[in-house]
Amino acid sequence: MAVCSCVRAQAGKLCNAAEAVVGRAGVQVKHLGAPGFGGTGRPVHRLSGVDRKLETSTGRVSMMIEIRRRDNGEVIRTVEADSLAGVDFREDNLANTDLKGQNLSGALLQGTDLSGCDLREANLEGASLQESDLSHADLQGAVLRNAAMVAAHIEKANLNGADLTGAKLGDANVGRAAVLSRCSLQNAKLITCDLRRVDLHGSDLRNADLSRSDLSDAYMQAANLADADLGSVFLISADMRDTDLSNAHFCNAHLNGAVLVGAKLDGAQMGGNNCIAANLTMVNLTNASMVGTNLRGAIMRDAKIRNANLRGADLSQTMLDGAVFRHADVTDTNFDQVDLFYTTCTFTNFSKARNAQVPVWKKNVR
The answer to whether 323 and 343 are in contact (CB under 8 A) is yes
Enclosing domain of residue 40: 8-68
Residue 86: how many CB atoms within 10 A of its CB? Answer: 14
Q: How big is the CA angle at 165 (ends 161 and 169), to the nearest 5 degrees?
A: 95
Residue 178 lies in a domain: no
Q: What is the DSSP string of 158-180?
A: B-TT-B-TT-B-TT-B--SS-B-
Q: Could you give the CA distance from residue 173 to residue 181 in angstroms, rounded to a whole number?
A: 16
Residue 44 backbone zone (phi > 0: left; psi -120 to 50: alpha; other: beta): beta
What is the chain's pLDDT, residue by residue, as a tens digit (366 residues)?
Answer: 444 444 344 444 444 443 433 333 322 222 223 333 333 333 443 444 555 555 554 455 568 888 999 988 899 989 988 899 999 999 999 999 999 999 999 999 999 999 999 999 999 999 999 999 999 999 999 999 999 999 999 988 999 999 999 999 988 877 666 789 999 999 999 999 888 899 999 999 999 999 999 999 999 999 999 999 999 999 999 999 999 999 999 899 999 999 999 999 999 999 999 999 999 999 999 999 999 999 999 999 999 999 999 999 999 999 999 999 999 999 999 999 999 999 999 999 998 999 998 886 665 544
The answer to whether 123 and 143 are in contact (CB under 8 A) is yes
Secondary structure (H, E, C), 124-135: CCCCECCCCECC
**Terminal-to-terminal C-alpha distance of the chain:** 106
Total number of domains in the chain: 1
Q: Could you give the CA distance from residue 139 to residue 152 in angstroms, rounded to a whole number?
A: 14
Residue 39 lies in a domain: yes
Residue 19 lies in a domain: yes
Query: Which of 176, 214, 213, 180 has its CA nearest to residue 197?
Result: 176
Residue 94 lies in a domain: no
Residue 33 lies in a domain: yes
Residue 171 lies in a domain: no
The answer to whether 302 and 284 are in contact (CB under 8 A) is no
The answer to whether 224 and 203 are in contact (CB under 8 A) is yes
* Cut 0.85: pTM above it: no
Residue 41 lies in a domain: yes
